[in-house]
Amino acid sequence: MKRLSGVISNFVLLSFILAAATVSDAQEADRVYVNGNIYMVDEAFSTASAFAVKDGKFIYVGDDAGFQAHMGPLTFTFDLEGKTVIPGLHDAHAHIRCGERILYPR
């Protein structure tokens, strides 16, 4: 009888652990970008079609179906219309002549 009680207790405990592991803790995104061609900088240079951002950080990168878990009532959704996104690529250039006028006024 004690053995059966132990088996039942372990089964109940395992059931609670498995149930807790399947609960989604998806964060609500500030912005979601969908329908894009997103290149990721990994070994395979894999691609995705959607990503979600919260407080300036990526919280989801994947397919268009997966971002739904991050949608909230105030989430802004932007359709990329198939455009390419390359995270980390910044256009940081300067026009020297413009800076010259500021540094050396006549």
Q: Is residue 71 part of a domain?
A: yes
Q: Is residue 65 part of a domain?
A: yes
Q: Is residue 5 part of a domain?
A: no
pTM (two decimals): 0.60
pLDDT tens for 3-29 read 656 556 555 455 555 554 444 467 899
Question: In sequence order, which residues have a C-beta less than 8 Å from that of residue 60 and are 6 or more positions away?
Answer: 26, 29, 50, 51, 52, 66, 67, 69, 70
Q: Is residue 57 part of a domain?
A: yes
pLDDT tens for 25-65 read 678 999 999 999 998 888 888 999 999 999 989 899 999 88
Tokens of 60: 């989801």
Average pLDDT for residues 88-99, to the nearest whole number? 69
Taking the CA atoms of residue 74, residue 79, residue 80 and residue 85 in that order, the dihedral angle to the nearest 10 degrees is: 30
For residue 96, the domain's CATH number is: 2.30.40.10
Contact 76, 32 (CB under 8 A): yes
The domain tally of the chain equals 1
Question: In sequence order, which residues have a C-beta less than 8 Å from that of residue 36 and are 6 or more positions away?
Answer: 48, 49, 50, 51, 80, 82, 83, 84, 85
Give the structural domain span for 44.
27-103
Structure confidence at residue 37 (pLDDT): 94
